[in-house]
Amino acid sequence: MAAPRDYYDVLGVSRSASADELKSAHRRLARKYHPDLNKEEGAADRFREIQTAYDVLSDSEKRARYDRFGHAGVDGPGAAGGGPGAGGGAADWRNVAPEDFEAIFGEAFGGGRGGGFGGFGGFGGFGGGRATGPTKGRDLEHELEVGFATAAFGGTERLRLGGAAGEPSDLDVKIPAGIHDGATLRIRGKGLPGGHGGPDGDLLLQIRVGRHPWFRRDGLNLEVDVPITIVEAALGGEIRVPLLRGTATLKVPPGVRSGSKLRLKGRGVTDSKGTSGDLHAVLEIVAPSADELSDEHRAALETMGRDLANPRTRTPWAAEVTEG
């Protein structure tokens, strides 16, 4: 059996092609070679080859594996899709996304936009009318941005979905407390319809968490920058710091350095299982500006400057520096 062609060559696009360029090439070629539209010998094999290439390159994860490992990265054991000659026909008409269906095949069924793509899972006549068993519908992926507070405390986000008949519907998605940026929520049965009585696919929501004006998040831990005066840094003291809800008192030890992190255990984000992270206050020593210093303060600082040890003498590079 001949080795499969390069998938980019199959679609006639460059290796840097965007998602829109891939979709445009797929629509054009699928319309040209679909067996119900093209009765020439070899059209069905060419169509399956096109579908296989698009199935891989339109999926960011599969495309990354293909770019790195070639066909071995997507056609080996456990890799979805199969080749153009695969006996199971994995790369057939069922892998056409519903939003592309009418644009590609509308003329084969009398054209027009009135019908949309209702009943997408039931066209058993494609591919020569071969009998197939129940097949699960294809999963769909969607990116969902949630607010920082919603991701931390949990809540509900409303998502608008396009219906099979062209009418949108609203879906309320429950966001679990503590969900992190990049997590995936699986909504069962909200993907493409299954074929021949098979179950519908799922909707995979890729979560993107919005930014907070002053908190940064690492897992369940939070960080917040806390400015302190040179007096607080030298002598220590107690300061108030913000939490996601309310405030807390933090003890600053004397002699602390700028950039030091002080931890408030268990005051970070709490997830749906009751596990809590910590809050880390990142201290930033703020020196007074020149116009904030009175003559008395300036004189006191100059006296301190003469009496205090030069901290640069403790650095590894001190011997390399000559004070002029």
Under the banding of pLDDT at 50, 70 and 90, the label for residue 206 is very high
Of the listed ranges 166-175, 199-208, 211-220, 253-262, the least confidently predicted one is 166-175
Percent of the chain having pLDDT more than 90? 43
CATH architecture of 7-111: Orthogonal Bundle (1.10)
Higher pLDDT pick, 320 / 171: 171
Class of domain 140-209: mainly beta
Topology match between the domains 7-111 and 215-290: no
The three state secondary structure string of the chain is: CCCCCCHHHHHCCCCCCCHHHHHHHHHHHHHHHCCCCCCCCCHHHHHHHHHHHHHHHCCHHHHHHHHHHCCHHHHCCCCCCCCCCCCCCCCCHHHCCHHHHHHHHHHHHCCCCCCCCCCHHHCCCHHHCCCCCCECCCCEEEEEEECHHHHHHCEEEEEEECCCCCCCEEEEEEECCCCCCCCEEEECCCCCCCECCCCCCCEEEEEEECCCCCEEEECCEEEEEEEEEHHHHHHCEEEEEECCCCEEEEEECCCCCCCCEEEECCCCCECCCCCECCEEEEEEEECCCHHHCCHHHHHHHHHHHHHCCCHHHHCCCHHHCCCC
Q: Any idea where the domains of the chain sit in the sequence?
A: 7-111, 140-209, 215-290
The pLDDT assigned to 166 comes to: 54
Instruction: Give pLDDT tens digits for 106-157.
Output: 443 333 333 333 333 333 334 444 446 788 888 888 889 999 999 999 999 9
State the pTM of this model. 0.55
Class of domain 215-290: mainly beta
The pLDDT assigned to 100 comes to: 52
